[in-house]
Amino acid sequence: MTVKVYDYWRSSASYRLRIALHLKGVAFEAIQVDLHPDRKEHQGPAYRSLNPQMRVPAIEVEGETIGQSMAILEWIEETWPHNPILPTAPLQRLKARAFADTIACDVHPLNNPSVLNELRFTFGADQDGISNWYADWIRRGFSALEARYGSRSSEFLFGENPTIAEICLVPQIYNARRFNVDTSDYPELVQIDAQCMELEAFQKASPEASKPV
Ligand SMILES: N[C@@H](CCC(=O)N[C@@H](CS)C(=O)NCC(=O)O)C(=O)O
């Protein structure tokens, strides 16, 4: 099966899928949908007809295009169960999903370009206001995750291998650094990020490695 991913190299939700596919060694074709404010390909008619939600990522499977990275991660796990991205024990699975959803549901959506544009153009926020908003939602999420999951006895957050928790964490740390959010209050999260970035799958999935030439 050839997997087509509608991707944008700087999109952190797309980055999640790239990590999962590389961890499992599944070959995929990445089709860039340029989210840059000067181009906004995701809002153009071609992509809109494939994904009316006008967001990336989306995948093409059996002739259908389907969005939502967290649902796609579960589909990837079900389709290619080797090198699992969910722990085996139900309680550990619950914790890994809860960790991932803290980022995917409670942090990332509030920092999306469409939300930042609403703040800027509908509510008149200036750049400082937007930067504070952006950093604040990351800090709220990371503080909770550091407090709840900061001490562990395993190599990674929920076992000896990265799971969906790290798959969501690493792109969010990338975003934090990109927007100059200080991460020094979250030493365990930063440590996990560093460990992940030693792995080839995370390196291959990184925005820099995925940027079209
Ligand atoms: N819940 C969606 C979020 C996808 C999403 O918001 N992607 C961002 C890029 S990381 C996007 O396409 N934003 C376009 C916009 O805000 O206009 C998922 O997890 O796939």
Report CA(55)–ligand 1 centroid distance (Å): 5
Report CA(54)–ligand 1 centroid distance (Å): 8
Residue 85: phi and psi, rounded to 5, are -105, 10
Q: Which residues line ligand 1 (CB under 6 A)?
A: 11-13, 35, 42, 55-57, 67-70, 104, 112-114
C-alpha–C-alpha distance, residues 29 and 21, integer Å: 11
Task: Report the DSSP beta bridge partners of residue 5.
Answer: 30, 59
Percent of the chain residues topping a pLDDT of 90: 97
Give residue 93's pLDDT. Answer: 97
52-57 CB contacts, 8 Å cutoff, 24+ apart: 55/13, 56/6, 56/7, 56/8, 56/11, 56/13, 56/14, 57/5, 57/6, 57/7, 57/8, 57/11, 57/13, 57/14, 57/16, 57/17
Instruction: Determine which residue's CA is closest to atom 2 belonging to ligand 1.
Output: 68
Report CA(86)–ligand 1 centroid distance (Å): 23
pLDDT digits (tens, 9 = 90+) for 39-91: 999 999 999 999 999 999 999 999 999 999 999 999 999 999 999 999 999 99
CB-CB neighbours of 14 under 10 Å: 28
Instruction: Determine which residue's CA is closest to atom 5 belonging to ligand 1.
Output: 55
The model carries a pTM of 0.97
In the chain, the domains with their CATH numbers are: 3-83 (3.40.30.10), 90-202 (1.20.1050.10)
Confidence of residue 213 (pLDDT cuts 50, 70, 90): confident
- Relative to the CA of 12, which ligand 1 atom is closest? 10
Mutate to test the pocket of ligand 1, among 56, 101, 172 (most ligand atoms within 8 A of CB): 56
CA distances from 74 to 46, 56, 163, 199 (A): 27, 17, 11, 21
pLDDT digits (tens, 9 = 90+) for 116-126: 999 999 999 99
